Amino acid sequence: MADEQTHFRLRILWGLGLVCLALLWVRLFQLQVLRGREYQEKSQANAIRVVEELPGRGLIVDRRGRVIVENRPSYSLTVIPSDIRHSSGTLMELATILGTPQEEILSLLPKGGLPAYQTFKLARDISFPTLASYKARLLDLSEVGYQFEPKRFYPYSVAPHVLGYIGEISEAEKARFPNKKAGDIVGKQGVERKYDDFLAGKKGYRYLMVNALGQAVEDLDDEYIPPQSSGKLYLTLDLELQYLAEELMAGRRGGLVALDPNTGEILAMVSVPEFDLEVFAGVLRSSDWQQLQADPSIPLLNRATQSGYPPGSTFKPMTLSAGIEEGIVGPGYRTFCSGGYTLGRVYHCFKKEGHGTIAPIEAIEQSCDVFFYQLGHRLGAERLGYYLHEFGFGQKTGIDIENEITGIAPDKKFFDRKFGVGKWSPGLVLNVAIGQGEVLATPLQLAHYCGIMATAGISATPHLLLKMYQKEGGVIEYSPDLHRIRIKSETFAIVREGMRRVIEGERGTARRFRDPRWQMAGKTGTAQNPHGDDHSLFIGYAPAENPIIAMAVVAENSGFGATVAAPIAVNIMKRYLEIAFQPDSLSQLPDSLLQKLSSAGLYKYPKPHAAEALTGAAGDSTVRTPDEAD
């Protein structure tokens, strides 16, 4: 009985739904086809004017809800192009208000394409004096209107490469955004572009009846379609960690990525040098744009996802994994390092006098090159290549911002293609085994690879979106994309012990950065660079057991990994552990950053022990011992 009733109710609901749908269809047809034609006709007689109303663009907040991108009001002057083409008086007034010659105003108007009744944004983000001057002449300027337009505002001025910016749609972008027309605002880079559909909201339309003089005489309220602003977009970034990372990377060139290896959530992503988002907040001046384009340091390039670097010794944990999986490296495996390995020519270890007899875990801890030359030689290009791909090199990670590069993971096919079958020296593989030669990886790929080491085999697609709160309610959450790579946990146990000893071992290349509170793991790298000084690299995760953060730092032309990249990474990892496990501790933050955080309202200043400055980072004068040189 109850069932029958439910069934009956469902049918009624179903029926009602159908009726509603049908009504909607009729209304749409009326508006778009019948009324559209009517409006078109009337507008030709200058009777109807369509005024667009823009919604506020969605807010962007960090993982804890702190607003990092919001909106400020700005105003645009709008015209009906055909009106001012045919009214020399209006044109003259406009030229005075805007301080722009009449010819230039005419040249700004769209060449056809726009329906006669549609308004066009002649000048965006006008100053208040300009707006006031327009309003004073309002009576003589009935063909000219103004429109509220949200403008981006960045309260913390962080993460320009992640956030990206917005601007008017270009001709080339029309295919990417089929629902937008000339003059519309779209995301140009980063999150603003990737999630433009969500952030943009929906435009509203007001229909005005105007008389022959162009003066609005009636607002057609019935036809009004209000704009719908978007909701809130939560990023995976941690604002404070991002702030710290940018501070530590300032003044250098390179990239930094920190992520949660268990989920792929990106906690901080930095590319330096940065650009000032403020330049893009309103209307971009062409002089600013040209300056950014011509800057030899390429500030618009996102080095974290778009620059390939030789990974150097940060590759050695991958090579060792391959050796163990392939049965080459067993429990008693040892190599003798005399300081060089001969294959056609001598390949040198960074330690000239050699490491002597060395076991796998020590080879990671002390970064012996000869150990890995020999292992690379025995593996060969085909087998080593398989593991390169397994750890995600030579392919996009799938991060949710556009234009990520694949880097280069040289396998046998690659060498055959580049040099011809049988025409290349096996010595090329020796270089790949230590992260040199043909191999190129982005900082993002290195962080992702480090995350696989951290979790002993989980590959989590890196991503920046945490969740989207829709205005009408409802939350869309990002569900992590995880898979386990085909490497045994016993293999990871050995490799991870080597990485732990890089920081915790007596001879570890980054042992200076130990912290009594937590054990950490990592690998230093110093990559030769044919175009200048060596790059400094570090990958690391923490805590050494059950890690919650994995990361990679590349500092271009900065010398040894242990000198520059390692202290930056270690400071970020420590701070994240403090946030997670000791939320009241501020001991690891430098004074300058605390002041910044404090003025941004993130902290109360001063901290209890302000004297305890950042350990090992900028201005570090500690003398390096020879075995820390890599």
Q: How far is the CB of 358 from Zn ion (least distance, A)?
A: 7
The set of catalytic residues is 313
- The token pair that represents 566 in the structure block: 């390692």
Question: Which residues make beta-bridge pairs with 356?
Answer: 337
Q: How far is the CB of 341 from Zn ion (least distance, A)?
A: 9
Q: How far is the CB of 508 from Zn ion (least distance, A)?
A: 15
Residue 236 to residue 506: CA distance in whole angstroms? 36
* Residue 434 interacting with Zn ion (CB under 5 A): no
In 408-559, which ranges are continuous DSSP H helix?
Answer: 412-419, 427-433, 443-454, 489-504
Among 355, 383, 496, 512, contact with Zn ion (rule: CB under 5 A): 355
Q: Which is nearer to Zn ion, 272 or 370 (CB)?
A: 370
Binding part of the chain for Zn ion, among 92-100, 361-369, 387-395, 550-558 by CB under 5 A, reads: 361-369
Q: Which is nearer to Zn ion, 304 or 370 (CB)?
A: 370
Binding part of the chain for Zn ion, among 34-42, 69-77, 286-294, 332-340 by CB under 5 A, reads: 332-340
Q: What is the DSSP letter of 6?
A: H
* Residue 364 interacting with Zn ion (CB under 5 A): no
Q: Which is nearer to Zn ion, 121 or 523 (CB)?
A: 523
Q: How far is the CB of 511 from Zn ion (least distance, A)?
A: 18
Q: Which is nearer to Zn ion, 59 or 337 (CB)?
A: 337
The residue to which tokens 């690299």 are assigned: 537
* Sign of the C-alpha dihedral computed for residues 542, 543, 544 and 549 taken in this order: negative
Closest CA to 257 of 245, 247, 239, 248: 245
Closest CA to 159 of 304, 339, 36: 304
Q: Which is nearer to Zn ion, 368 or 464 (CB)?
A: 368
Binding part of the chain for Zn ion, among 17-25, 107-115, 296-304, 365-373 by CB under 5 A, reads: 365-373
Q: How far is the CB of 283 from Zn ion (least distance, A)?
A: 58
Q: Which is nearer to Zn ion, 355 or 535 (CB)?
A: 355
Q: How far is the CB of 354 from Zn ion (least distance, A)?
A: 6
Q: How far is the CB of 329 from Zn ion (least distance, A)?
A: 16
Contacts of 297 (CB under 8 A, 6+ apart): 253, 273
Q: Which is nearer to Zn ion, 349 or 570 (CB)?
A: 349
Residue 491 to residue 345: CA distance in whole angstroms? 32
Contacts of 605 (CB under 8 A, 6+ apart): 594, 595, 597, 598
Binding part of the chain for Zn ion, among 9-17, 160-168, 363-371, 598-606 by CB under 5 A, reads: 363-371
Among 98, 257, 349, 364, contact with Zn ion (rule: CB under 5 A): 349
* Residue 370 interacting with Zn ion (CB under 5 A): yes
Contacts of 117 (CB under 8 A, 6+ apart): 39, 40, 43, 48, 49, 50, 80
Contacts of 104 (CB under 8 A, 6+ apart): none
* Number of residues lying near Zn ion (CB under 5 A): 5
* Residue 80 interacting with Zn ion (CB under 5 A): no
**Cα 474 from chain centre:** 25
Question: Which residues make beta-bridge pairs with 205?
Answer: 52, 225
Q: How far is the CB of 482 from Zn ion (least distance, A)?
A: 37
Binding to Zn ion (CB under 5 A) within 270-299 occurs at: none
User: Mapping DSSP to helix (H, G, I), strand (E, B) and coil, where does residue 14 land?
Assistant: helix
Q: Which is nearer to Zn ion, 340 or 559 (CB)?
A: 340
Q: How many residues are listed for the chain in this entry?
A: 630
φ, ψ for residue 491, nearest 5 deg: -65, -45
* Residue 337 interacting with Zn ion (CB under 5 A): yes
Among 185, 368, 520, 593, contact with Zn ion (rule: CB under 5 A): 368
Q: Strands of 519-587 (E only): list them.
A: 521-529, 532-542, 549-555
Binding part of the chain for Zn ion, among 84-92, 145-153, 353-361, 511-519 by CB under 5 A, reads: 353-361
User: What per-residue string of b and e applies to 17-26 under the rule 16 or more CB within 10 Å gives b?
Assistant: eeeeeeeeee
Q: What is the DSSP letter of 438?
A: T
Instruction: Please give the angle made by the CA atoms of 163, 405 and 573, to the nearest 5 degrees.
Output: 60
Binding residues for Zn ion, rule: CB under 5 A, are 337, 349, 355, 368, 370
